[in-house]
Amino acid sequence: MYSFSENFFDIKQFLLRLKQAESKRLILFGAGGWGEALYDELLQRGISLPIYFADNDSSKQGLRLKDKPILCPQEIDHHKDIVVITTISAGDQVSNQLEDMGFARGVNYFEVMHSLNYQYPFNVMDFYNNFVEDFKGLDILHIGPGGQLGVELLLYLMGAKSVFAVEYHSFNLSFPEITRTKNYYDNLGEMAIDRDYGDIFEKGLIKREQERFFIDQTKIHLLYPCSVTALPFADRSFDLILHHAVFEHVMNPERGYGEIFRTLKPGGMTIGLVDPQDHRVFSTFKEYYPLKFLEYSREEWNEIAKNINYHNQITFPEHKEMILTHGFDIKQLDILMETDITDEMWQKFNPTFRRFDAKEIGVLRFAFLASRPNESLPLY
Ligand SMILES: C[S@@+](CC[C@H](N)C(=O)[O-])C[C@H]1O[C@@H](n2cnc3c(N)ncnc32)[C@H](O)[C@@H]1O
């Protein structure tokens, strides 16, 4: 079993806080695998507070996990509850949501921050490196980095000429001040040295002003809130545009691919990883399967998706079609995960999706490298 005690962010402070909170309820926000693992560990540590789960996914609310009720967020209250955010994928949104409800970080809400968080940018860099070996001298745009700017710092260390990022949901983003999340950058920095990326502090990427820390905005440029569907950059600005687990969350991916094409220099490249699957499958509830979301019409799905960390219902063949229609030249396409479609599944799909090839619909994760072709010279 995964042990939170080794990786849990400030578990000592958290346990101390629990000791002072005798009459409170403990809410594990995120009724998924991490929530279950933390529940097991807290039980082993003899936590005596009543424990509940909570989740934004309305289809989980009212069910039980580990025989504990799953509440909807409206049922929790900063006067009587202590919350731990256990969801990793939607942690930023939940933290923002709790602050809106009057909770304060480190006082009555905590976040699971495990070592995966700062290892993660290295995995993403390894992924991009599979397609492009050298980032030196490139003007790079990274779309949808999420709450931390680890990938941006590593791209800069790898010799990028300029590093821009755009993020649509500013949720829990700390930028340029990172004092609050300095622990993340310290760990990332240590690992960057171990892995021969270089020193983010020595390279001046992070500046100290008395007791506060800032990312140097002359080196890392972040625009938010800013959508890939409306990029505020001139045509032909970038050599390389990257996105990882973003395009399944974009409301109008067709326009997003168009914007990438427009802002790439001719000959420029884009690398993407897309997960066209029902993300509810990442929970432990048995009724979901990766293509469950294709059972709904577009309108029905958009209604459901409002309540979860929004993702669209665009399938692999549709993404491919959009990429090609914009004029990209697909250089490499890797199918990273797929599932067989049974007759029973096929019958349940909404007719919108039954016009596609079953094999293509079964693609659950893919990655691609595409270029904006060099323009041919006029023939005169
Ligand atoms: C699942 S997270 C992935 C974050 C990060 N790239 C990673 O690999 O962990 C999806 C990210 O896409 C961002 N996003 C969603 N729609 C977007 C849009 N239209 N433009 C830019 N970013 C967007 C979200 O805010 C979120 O940070």
For 264-277, the pLDDT digits (tens) are 999 999 999 999 99
Strand partners for 223: 166
- Nearest residue by C-alpha to atom 1 in ligand 1: 245
Cα 142–Cα 258–Cα 268 angle in degrees, nearest 5: 55
pLDDT at 328: 98
| First-residue to last-residue Cα distance in the chain | 69
Crossing angle between the packed helical segments 182-194 and 150-157, to the nearest 10 degrees: 40
CA distance 309 to 311: 7
By most ligand atoms within 8 Å of CB, the mutation choice from 92, 152, 249, 314 for ligand 1 is 249
Task: Give how far Cα 176 sits from Cα of 225, 238, 373, Å.
Answer: 14, 22, 35
Q: Model confidence over 283-298: pLDDT tens digits?
A: 655 578 899 999 999 9
In single-letter form, the type of residue at position 169 comes to H
- For ligand 1, the distance from its centroid to the CA atom of residue 351, given in whole angstroms, is 29
- For ligand 1, the distance from its centroid to the CA atom of residue 344, given in whole angstroms, is 33
- For ligand 1, the distance from its centroid to the CA atom of residue 45, given in whole angstroms, is 36
Q: Model confidence over 59-97: pLDDT tens digits?
A: 888 888 888 999 999 999 999 999 998 886 666 678 888
pLDDT at 5: 43
Ligand 1 atom at minimal distance to the Cα of residue 89: 1
**Residue 102: φ, ψ to 5°:** 100, 5
Kind of pairing, strands 51-54 and 68-71?
A: parallel
By most ligand atoms within 8 Å of CB, the mutation choice from 141, 174, 241, 246 for ligand 1 is 246
> Which of 251 and 107 is assigned the larger pLDDT?
251
pLDDT at 115: 55
Percent of the chain whose pLDDT exceeds 90: 65
pLDDT at 345 over 50: yes
pLDDT at 231: 98
Q: How many CA atoms lie within 13 A of 363 on its CB side?
A: 22
Ligand 1 atom at minimal distance to the Cα of residue 229: 19
- Nearest residue by C-alpha to atom 13 in ligand 1: 144
pLDDT (mean) for 313-329: 98
User: Average pLDDT of the chain?
Assistant: 89
pLDDT confidence tier of residue 378, bands split at 50, 70 and 90: low
Q: Which residue ranges form the domains of the chain, and what is each CATH number?
A: 4-111 (3.40.50.720), 116-226 (no CATH)
- For ligand 1, the distance from its centroid to the CA atom of residue 235, given in whole angstroms, is 22
* Whole-prediction pTM: 0.79
pLDDT at 225: 93
pLDDT at 356 over 60: yes
pLDDT at 107: 82
- For ligand 1, the distance from its centroid to the CA atom of residue 378, given in whole angstroms, is 39
- Nearest residue by C-alpha to atom 24 in ligand 1: 144
Query: Which residues line the pocket of ligand 1, CB cutoff 6 A?
Result: 89, 124, 143-146, 166-169, 227-229, 244-246, 249-250
pLDDT at 106 over 70: yes
- Nearest residue by C-alpha to atom 3 in ligand 1: 245
What Rg do the C-alpha atoms of the chain give, in angstroms?
22
Query: In sequence order, what are the residues at sequence separation of 6 or more whose Cβ sits closer than 8 angstroms to the Cβ of residue 158?
Result: 125, 135, 136, 197
pLDDT confidence tier of residue 371, bands split at 50, 70 and 90: very high
Greatest mean pLDDT range, 14-18, 73-77, 277-281:
73-77
pLDDT at 129 over 90: yes
pLDDT at 2 over 50: no
User: Would you call 213 helix, strand, or coil by DSSP?
Assistant: strand
Percent of the chain whose pLDDT exceeds 70: 91
Ligand 1 atom at minimal distance to the Cα of residue 124: 8
- For ligand 1, the distance from its centroid to the CA atom of residue 251, given in whole angstroms, is 11
Ligand 1 atom at minimal distance to the Cα of residue 142: 6
pLDDT at 375 over 90: no
CA distance 247 to 276: 9
pLDDT at 112 over 80: no
pLDDT (mean) for 143-170: 93
pLDDT at 177 over 90: yes
pLDDT at 58: 83
Cα 90–Cα 337–Cα 254 angle in degrees, nearest 5: 65
Cis peptide before 69 (omega within 30 of 0): no
> Which of 284 and 157 is assigned the larger pLDDT?
157
Ligand 1 atom at minimal distance to the Cα of residue 256: 19
pLDDT (mean) for 290-316: 92
**Residue 5: φ, ψ to 5°:** -60, -30
User: Would you call 166 helix, strand, or coil by DSSP?
Assistant: strand
The token pair at 226 is 């800013």
pLDDT at 8 over 90: no
- Nearest residue by C-alpha to atom 27 in ligand 1: 146
CA distance 278 to 293: 5
- For ligand 1, the distance from its centroid to the CA atom of residue 248, given in whole angstroms, is 9
- For ligand 1, the distance from its centroid to the CA atom of residue 85, given in whole angstroms, is 19
- For ligand 1, the distance from its centroid to the CA atom of residue 89, given in whole angstroms, is 10
Ligand 1 atom at minimal distance to the Cα of residue 310: 15
Q: Model confidence over 207-250: pLDDT tens digits?
A: 999 999 999 999 999 999 999 999 999 999 999 999 999 999 99
- For ligand 1, the distance from its centroid to the CA atom of residue 112, given in whole angstroms, is 20
pLDDT confidence tier of residue 1, bands split at 50, 70 and 90: very low
pLDDT at 55 over 60: yes
Furthest-apart CA atoms within the chain: distance in Å: 83
